[in-house]
């Protein structure tokens, strides 16, 4: 079946437009523009969040950020629990000798701020 | 199919036009109303383990296959930013189905969809926490003959870090597919975060994760006209039932990304975009350094030649970095997803990968993981032969033993 005329026109347009568009989106100028857009967006969101939180706190109501903070703490505890469980399993598997060897590893505690936490084993 | 001419055969022409228009209208209605949509992830499976949002699934064996059971079991490790059903897209167009058909016992580790509870999930959470447990479960259920770990895209990165950080775990073989390691060769839309470019904190939303829409936008930026071309394809081939089914299955995957846990995202930017950690052997994980040279199990690096998301120059440097004696590199003529779906995936790419896996497995019974130099050298030859045999016309198999034995 022959290609319809509209498709032939689209293909020709796409062939012309696509390479410069790809070049544009790959350029440092575009990246800088995106960085600026994302920063502005983040700052606006932060400001809106701050104002709404202050308003809600004024009436002694919890804001979404308060709930989020609590959920983060619970999630952090769960991760810590997982790390402890893994360490326990490892010690059980290695037995008495493993317990001695296990002294060179310790668990990183969960700090709950969303970074650098988790079920991590660390070699001292 | 030749179209009738409106001048020489007006009846045939108009009858063809009416028939096509009717079919298009019916298919458009079916599509818009969501009637009889393509089934994705349809291969029967059972959850065998879960932790947090992660679930380990075991696929039921293919009873219609005449292939003998093959060990060790295969654990498919999915990326953190996309849905896992791409590995089991549709009946007849599924990597899982292909592996089952060749006799493998197939498991899939699905990370689930993260929400704000998962914002603090670090790479260690996945690599040191969940993956070792999943591998242990697969090993036990598979009869204790080890596990072939198979990572796709970002799942390959996690698999590499896991294999490097846990060399004593029961990994029998390691396969990574379309896995980037040289971030200097990643497209700017992927590598533009960090390193003086976009601040990672500005990409993360109030939930603490990179939103799914941002993940999707970053992929869309790689080929800005792709979405429009997809719509044009849809409109042009709407009268084709098979096309519509494939279109629905594929778009349900490409348009449905999942959030990237914020902590893992920031760590990824620090490790790879800022320091190009894999190439420079700087991979801090959980307070220790892990090294790809500590990976000593048989290793297969699958590279998609026409990959625009993970270009081949970002994947090829991996092969010599791994410490195994038995290392194979498969360069396949497909795109990022074409490796595991479509005609080329089915006829060339999937057989090439499963041939390598078969050559590194044992038919019927369990066999302890062989890691001695002699055994791996022998296996390496077999793998090369399997790769050559399955390479057929276009699949270029390049053995990359590169002085490693």
Residue pair B80/B260 in contact by the 8 Å Cβ criterion? yes
Q: Does B112 touch chain A (CB under 8 A)?
A: no
Residues 42 through 61 of chain A touching chain B, CB cutoff 8 Å? 42, 45, 49
pLDDT at A106: 33
Q: Which two tokens stand for residue A17?
A: 């437009």
Does the pLDDT of residue A91 top 80, yes or no? Answer: yes
Answer yes or no: is B142 within a domain.
yes
Contacts of A54 (CB under 8 A, 6+ apart): none
CATH assignment at residue B122: 3.40.50.1820
The ipTM estimated for the assembled molecules is 0.71
Residue pair A75/B118 in contact by the 8 Å Cβ criterion? yes
Q: So where are chain A's domains?
A: 1-61, 63-124
Answer yes or no: is B17 within a domain.
no
Q: Does B225 touch chain A (CB under 8 A)?
A: yes
Contacts of A23 (CB under 8 A, 6+ apart): none
Choose among B399, B401, B379: nearest CA to B388.
B399
Query: Containing domain of residue B248, as a range?
Result: 45-363+371-399
- Each residue's pLDDT tens digit, B356-370: 999 999 876 444 333
Q: Which residue has the tokens 């991760």?
A: A79
More confident residue, B312 or A102: B312
Answer yes or no: is B156 within a domain.
yes
Answer yes or no: is B220 within a domain.
yes
pLDDT at B191: 72
Residues 35 through 64 of chain B touching chain A, CB cutoff 8 Å? 51-52
- Each residue's pLDDT tens digit, B137-175: 999 999 999 999 999 999 999 999 999 999 999 999 999
CA B234 – CA B91 distance, rounded (Å): 21
Q: Which of B121, B201, B202 sits opposite A118 (nearest CB)?
A: B121
Residue numbers in chain B where pLDDT is lower than 70: 1-3, 196, 364-405
Q: Which two tokens stand for residue A103?
A: 């002294």
Q: Which uninterrupted H or E stretch holds B42? A: none
- For B398, phi then psi, to 5°, come to -110, 110
Q: How many domains would you assign to chain B? A: 1
Answer yes or no: is B197 within a domain.
yes
Residues of B serving a catalytic function are 153
Handedness of CA B173, B178, B181, B182 (dihedral sign): positive
CA A2 – CA B243 distance, rounded (Å): 17
CA B383 – CA B175 distance, rounded (Å): 13
CA B63 – CA B61 distance, rounded (Å): 6
Residue pair B242/B90 in contact by the 8 Å Cβ criterion? no
How far apart are the two ends of chain B, measured CA to CA in Å?
A: 54
pLDDT at B273: 73
């Amino acid at each position: 079946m022959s290609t319809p005329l509209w498709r032939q026109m689209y293909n020709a347009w796409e062939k012309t437009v696509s390479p410069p568009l790809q070049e544009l989106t790959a350029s440092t100028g575009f990246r800088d523009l995106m960085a600026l857009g994302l920063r502005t967006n983040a700052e606006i969101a932060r400001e809106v969040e701050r104002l709404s939180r202050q308003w809600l706190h004024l009436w002694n109501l919890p804001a979404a950020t308060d709930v989020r903070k609590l959920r983060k703490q619970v999630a952090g505890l769960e991760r810590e629990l997982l790390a402890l469980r893994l360490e326990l399993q490892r010690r059980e598997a290695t037995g008495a000798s493993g317990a001695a060897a296990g002294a060179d590893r310790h668990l990183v505690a969960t700090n709950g701020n969303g970074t650098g936490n988790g079920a991590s084993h660390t070699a001292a | 199919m030749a179209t009738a001419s409106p001048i020489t055969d007006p009846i045939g022409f108009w009858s063809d036009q009416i028939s096509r228009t009717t079919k298009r209208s019916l298919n458009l209605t079916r599509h818009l109303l969501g009637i009889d949509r393509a089934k994705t992830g349809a291969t029967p499976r059972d959850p065998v383990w879960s932790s947090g949002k992660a679930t380990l699934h075991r696929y039921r064996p293919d009873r219609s296959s005449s292939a003998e059971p093959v060990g060790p079991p295969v654990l498919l490790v999915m990326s953190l930013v996309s849905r896992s059903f791409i590995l089991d897209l549709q009946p007849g167009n599924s990597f899982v189905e292909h592996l089952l058909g060749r006799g493998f016992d197939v498991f899939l580790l699905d990370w689930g969809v993260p929400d704000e509870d998962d914002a603090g999930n670090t790479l260690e959470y996945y690599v040191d926490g969940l993956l070792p447990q999943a591998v242990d479960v697969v090993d036990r259920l598979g009869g204790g003959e080890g596990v072939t770990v198979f990572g796709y895209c970002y799942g390959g990165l996690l698999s590499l870090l896991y294999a490097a950080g846990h060399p004593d775990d029961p990994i029998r073989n390691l396969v990574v597919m379309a896995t980037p390691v040289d971030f200097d060769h990643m497209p700017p839309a992927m590598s533009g975060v960090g390193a003086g470019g976009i601040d990672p904190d500005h990409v993360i939303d109030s939930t603490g994760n990179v939103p799914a829409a941002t993940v999707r936008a970053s992929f869309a930026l790689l080929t800005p006209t792709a979405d429009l071309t997809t719509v044009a394809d849809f409109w042009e081939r709407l009268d084709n039932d098979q096309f519509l089914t494939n279109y629905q299955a594929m778009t349900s995957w490409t348009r449905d990304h999942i959030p990237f846990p914020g902590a893992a995202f920031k760590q990824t930017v620090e490790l790879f975009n800022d320091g190009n950690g894999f190439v420079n052997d700087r991979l801090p994980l959980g307070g220790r350094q892990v090294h790809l040279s500590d990976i000593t199990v048989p290793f297969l690096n699958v590279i998609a030649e026409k990959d625009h998301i993970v270009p081949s120059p970002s994947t090829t440097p991996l092969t010599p970095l791994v410490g195994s004696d038995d290392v194979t590199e498969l360069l396949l003529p497909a795109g990022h997803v074409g490796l595991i779906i479509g005609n080329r995936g089915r006829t060339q790419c999937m057989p090439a990968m499963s041939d390598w896996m078969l050559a590194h497995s044992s038919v019927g019974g369990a066999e302890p993981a062989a890691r001695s130099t002699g055994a791996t050298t022998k296996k390496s030859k077999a793998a090369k032969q399997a790769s050559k045999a399955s390479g057929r016309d276009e699949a270029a198999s390049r053995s990359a033993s590169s002085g490693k034995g």
